[in-house]
Amino acid sequence: MTQAMLQLNDVTVTVTNGGQSLNILNHINLNVNPGDFITILGTNGAGKSTLFNVISGNLTPTAGQILLDGKDITKFSEEKRARYISRVFQDPKLGTAPRMTVGENMLLAEKRGQRRTLGLRHLRQKKPQLLKELGLFDNGLADRFDTPTGDLSGGQRQALSLMMAISAKPELLLLDEHTAALDPKTSNQLMAFTHQIISERNLTCLMITHHLDDALKYGNRLIVLNDGAIEGDYDTAAKAALSKDDMLQFFDSAIA
Ligand SMILES: Nc1ncnc2c1ncn2[C@@H]1O[C@H](COP(=O)(O)OP(=O)(O)OP(=O)(O)O)[C@@H](O)[C@H]1O
């Protein structure tokens, strides 16, 4: 049997709200296999971002254990985990340093999880390779190599965040609604590119989305979160049998 790449054993996050204890993640057990591309759906407040926060090390669980490649990383800091785990956020502003150019951001991303220094000579040397990477997604990013990322469009910035997140191949890629802030056409283009690059590079990925179509169309597995717990875990075959109506019904009953 393949060893799970990521294991969450009985992971619980408890917060105190108005004097009451509340489990915003409630005994989560999850095994992610190498090469899995898992889409994650859930209502607002279901615990999706909290799940990513405990996996990335942004939040320490109140109880339970997180293993990466069999190694217990529960107590590892976010910085230490950054070598293995990369994350793209919904907000285009969060993934890149706005005053630095596209090229400089890409160069820094290659050193994810290591001491980061920027040398101009190094940037010149690396430029052809970085341009090749940037040119993989046809949205003009490669032509803006020397542009500060703060001057890019949201779509270009999210594409850059994705390229940066995968540049030093992560063990695990977390996509946190990375297309949600984009217009429908740009969102579809970036999603198609995301799918292509994940398959070509055989990345292991968890992707939170509110787009039912994307959740059903992409990936080999679908997880549905509700009230801090995994309510559904569908493999490729079960996922293929699901319809958008099934999912809409789930959302109706979860919210009702
Ligand atoms: N530090 C905290 N203290 C108290 N409650 C919190 C804290 N962090 C999150 N919550 C609550 O936990 C629940 C889950 O939040 P989370 O952001 O993980 O949901 P989500 O599924 O990502 O939602 P959305 O789709 O709206 O982004 C929410 O009800 C939120 O208000």
Question: Could you tell me if 86 and 170 are in contact, meaning their C-beta atoms sit under 8 angstroms apart?
Answer: yes
Q: Whose CA is nearest to atom 12 of ligand 1?
A: 24
Pairing mode of beta strands 221-226, 37-42 = parallel
- In the chain, domain spans: 35-60+76-255
- What the block records as the tokens of 91 is 């907000």
Tokens 């785990």, located at residue: 85
Q: Which atom of ligand 1 is nearest to the CA of 228?
A: 14
Tell me what pLDDT residue 256 has: 60
Q: Considering only CA atoms, which of 66, 64, 61, 65 is closest in space to residue 50?
A: 61
Tokens standing for 244? Answer: 């958008």
45 lines ligand 1 (CB under 6 A): yes
**pLDDT given for residue 139 in this prediction:** 87
- Coil, helix or strand for 175? strand
Residue 246's pLDDT is what? 86
- DSSP code string of 35-80: T-EEEEEE-TTSSHHHHHHHHHTSS--SEEEEEETTEE-TT--HHH
CB environment 55-79: b (16+ within 10 A), e (fewer): bbbebebeebebbbeeeebbebeee
Please state the φ and ψ torsions of residue 32, each to the nearest 5 degrees. Answer: -110, 125
Task: Return the pLDDT at 102.
Answer: 95
Q: What is the mean pLDDT of each run of 10 residues along the chain (256 residues)?
A: 89 93 96 97 94 96 96 94 93 84 91 67 88 90 93 92 92 96 93 96 96 94 96 94 87 71
φ/ψ region of 27 (left if φ > 0, alpha if ψ in -120 to 50, else beta) reads left
Query: Helical H runs in 89-119?
Result: 102-110
Contact 174, 55 (CB under 8 A): yes
Residue 225: name the closest of 36, 51, 8, 21 by CA.
51
Measured in Å, residue 158 CA sits from the centre of ligand 1 at 23
What ipTM, to 2 d.p.? Answer: 0.95
Ligand 1 proximity of 16 Cβ (cutoff 6 Å): no
Q: Which CATH superfamily groups domain 35-60+76-255? A: P-loop containing nucleotide triphosphate hydrolases (3.40.50.300)
Closest residue (by CA) to atom 28 of ligand 1? Answer: 45
Angle of helix 120-134 relative to helix 154-167, nearest 10 degrees, comes to 110
Binding site membership of 53 for ligand 1 (Cβ less than 6 Å): no
Atom 31 of ligand 1, nearest CA residue: 45
